[in-house]
A and B are shown apart, each in its own frame.
Chain A
Amino acid sequence: MEGAGERRRAGIRRGLPFGVAVFAISISFGVLARPVMGPVAPIVMSILVFSGAAQFGALAVLIAGGGAGAAIAAGVLLNARYLAMGLALAPSLRGRAPSRAAFALPLVDASWAAASRGDGTFDPWYLVGVSIPQYVGWVLGTAVGVLIGPRLGDPNALGLDALFPAFFIVLLFEEARGRRRLAAAAGGAGIALVLTPLVPAGLPILAAAAAAVAASRLRS
């Protein structure tokens, strides 16, 4: 068994390419957020919320002229998957409540997927390590976006919105190996496709968890 520091360093190395991708994504958040939120609030938001889905979701509501309540609801729904991810992570965390909380707070999609040992358990120090470059990239990118935004124009003209699907495709490809996982992925994609026009954004992703329940009944 390797030590905590070694696991964390291994996680950081694994997280570096994620950090670069997240840096590029958060530049577009900073660019899009500045006209609505001013120069300081987007950076504070990235420091405190550290969640692409929730921040872009809430921002979209504010840009469309929606109120604080609607923006908060969108952000919470888009992050509802963290409830499922936290429940999955929980049995792998030992120690007292503050220590478990300290491992759970850096939880983000890429770290959660990368720290999965493939048997339903997670490597907590590795998870923290993978999150570190992503946090640095997220906050720095937001600041860069806020600064260069007024000169950059429309970030979608640079294709920055395509960074998201590409990011998740990388994670999915590493994760979905074997018959049951492929079935879970196909089911999750199908649920998201069917539900997206029917229910508020964020819920389709949470509902995709049903595909994991269904696929777990398959023989491996």
Chain B
Amino acid sequence: MTAVWIVIAALALATAALKLAGPLALGGTPLRPGALSVVELLASALLAALVVVETFGSGRSLVLDARVLGAGFAAIAVWRRAPMIVVVLGAAAVTALARLLF
């Protein structure tokens, strides 16, 4: 049980340190134009990577499971401009249904 509390304390401190490192080291200093155009594109690159990892990742391997159907539903629903709550809960429902049936 002690291990659990060590993990919580360490991750709380490490997460804060990761978030704060940039703003405390160079807060308020404007970025060079080249760096600014990288920053502008960073969200697209990182979010796409998160989608891939959360859809296909299972630790250090890629798997195809019912999450793919849920993510597929989410992609179509977003494209058809469904509200976020419909997209997210619909993805869970589709995945749950797929697991129930197969």
Task: Output the nearest chain B residue to A48 by Cβ-Cβ distance.
Answer: B12
Instruction: Tell whether A10 is near chain B: CB-to-CB under 8 Å.
Output: no
Chain B residues near A38 (CB-CB < 8 A): 1, 4
Task: Find A62's partner among B4, B18, B40 (CB 8 Å cutoff).
Answer: B4
Chain A residues near B18 (CB-CB < 8 A): 76, 79-80, 82-83, 86
Q: Is the interface of B mostly helix, strand, loop or mixed?
A: helix
| Inter-chain CB contacts under 8 Å: number | 329
Chain B residues near A168 (CB-CB < 8 A): 47, 50-51, 54
Which residues from 53 to 83 on chain B have a C-beta closer than 8 Å to any C-beta of chain A?
53-57, 59-62, 66-67, 70-71, 73-75, 78-79, 83
Chain B residues near A197 (CB-CB < 8 A): 60-62
Mark each residue of chain A from 20 to 55: 1 if its CB lies under 8 Å from any CB of chain B, else 0. Answer: 110010000000000011100100110011110011
Task: Find B59's partner among A60, A85, A105 (CB 8 Å cutoff).
Answer: A60
Chain A residues near B30 (CB-CB < 8 A): 91
Q: Are A192 and B49 in contact (CB under 8 A)?
A: yes
Chain B residues near A75 (CB-CB < 8 A): 7, 10-11, 14-15
Instruction: Tell whether A147 is near chain B: CB-to-CB under 8 Å.
Output: no
Instruction: Tell whether A200 is near chain B: CB-to-CB under 8 Å.
Output: yes
- Count of A interface residues, CB-CB < 8 Å: 106
Q: Are B21 and A166 in contact (CB under 8 A)?
A: no
Task: Output the nearest chain B residue to A215 by Cβ-Cβ distance.
Answer: B41
Whether A175 contacts B44 in the complex (CB less than 8 A), given A41-B8, A68-B3, A83-B18, comes out as yes
Q: Are B48 and A170 in contact (CB under 8 A)?
A: no
Given contacts A41-B8, A79-B15, 16 further A-B contacts (CB under 8 A): A62-B7, A72-B6, A89-B22, A104-B23, A116-B43, A158-B96, A162-B74, A166-B88, A169-B51, A189-B49, A192-B52, A196-B57, A201-B53, A208-B49, A209-B46, A212-B41
